Chain A
Amino acid sequence: MGTQNLQPAIVQFAQLDKLLALGRANSLWPMTFGLACCAIEMMATGASRFDLARFGAEVFRPSPRQCDVMIVAGTISKKMAPAVETLYDQMPEPKWVIAMGNCAISGGPFVYEGQYGIVEGAEKLFPVDVFIPGCPPRPEALIEGILELEEKVTGSRRWPRVEVG
């Protein structure tokens, strides 16, 4: 059942990989896929006010085969978990996962002793690259998460870090 071993490409050049990473980081294609209320914030992020397009990540694709990023936006119920895993399987490499909101991080408010309906965090299903805390996170937080992911892909931050206060 499943593997996390990745067979690398046939041709590899360090400089070319850097270039590809730069291209990928600045045109991340997320998947149109929401599980709960966090998805509303995700929609707001994609819409005109917060405008995810400024960071090149606005092309929400309806098919996992065209996606780079899976934004797990919401509670993963045990009933939904196989579908989420299937979508993850169907995304081609390179792929990244953002766990958005407390439910996707750890199960959030639904965790209590003896609960039987919720997967306690997306990381129980597959590896997650970026965690965005919040219940739900504000659109700015999702944008920051995307920027974090860009930093992870390229190794350097392109946009200035916002200072608190």
Chain B
Amino acid sequence: MEQQATLDLLYVAAFFLGGLGFAVGPFIIALLLAPRSTRNTQEKTKQLIECGMEPIGDAWIRFGIVYYLYALMFVAFAVDILFLFPVALVYNRAGESGLNVSDLQAFVEILIFVGILSLIIIYAWKKGVFKWERKIYNPR
């Protein structure tokens, strides 16, 4: 029993080393077989941008968050639409769907649902999401 456990552990170790070799091996092979330098004309080999143009400043800058809020609004309404799909399936035959609701009731219910969700717009409006201006974080 003890021997079996040791053997199992050895298997795990062997597979672990095999996996590690499989992952790291190619890097080592490439390091050994690849030429150690690149012929170049303008010393631009290490330039990060790969389209040939001079990079304008650093990539590590603080981006405006305006579009992010806008995108969140889109997500909210995308989910809204998602909930409306099953409604659209049964809406035309609300009376006979076995849900025991009348047509008028179904209409009012969907109106309330969409109405409440539409309040998102007012909320975002009040918060100033639709105004395309830079939000400046002020710690004071």
Interface residues of A (CB under 8 A from B): 1-11, 16, 20, 63-65, 82-95, 125-127
Contact = CB atoms under 8 A, between A and B. Distances in A.
Q: Main secondary structure on chain B at its contact with chain A?
A: loop
Given A63-B50, A89-B45, A90-B50, A3 B40 contact: yes
Interface of A is mostly: loop
Interface residues of B, number: 20
Nearest to A127: B39
Given A9-B34, A10-B31, A90-B50, A85 B41 contact: yes
B38 A91 contact: yes
Contacts of A1: 41-43
Contacts of B42: 1-2, 82, 85-86, 89
B52 interface: yes
Interface of B: 31-45, 47, 50-53
B50 A2 contact: no
B18 to A, nearest CB: 23
6 contacts: A10-B32, A10-B36, A64-B50, A85-B42, A86-B42, A93-B38
A89 B53 CA distance: 12
B52 A93 contact: no
